[in-house]
Amino acid sequence: MFKLKSRVIFFLFSLFFFLKGSAQCAMCRAVLESEEGQTTAEGVNDGIIYLMAIPYILVASIGFLIYWKFYKTKKD
């Protein structure tokens, strides 16, 4: 029970920092900070985070499916 609780807390903690992270490179930041409104910079930052998240979600999903398949065969 303790392991599950600590995993849930770790997941929520990681998710919080993942959503708060800034993902711009130095060149992108220098160009976009010179702009008057920061809407373009926010859009680029959100796009980078979106592109970064998709491979992690896919790998985690495939890993979960493999784990689930082995768990079901072990249980039978």
Q: Identify the pLDDT of residue 41.
A: 75
Supply the DSSP string of 1-64, one letter for each residue: -HHHHHHHHHHHHHHHHHHH-----HHHHHHHHTSSSSHHHHHHHHHHHHHHHHHHHHHHHHHH
Task: Give the residue extent of every domain in the chain.
Answer: 2-75
Residue pLDDT, tens place only, 35-51: 777 777 778 778 888 88
Global pTM value: 0.47
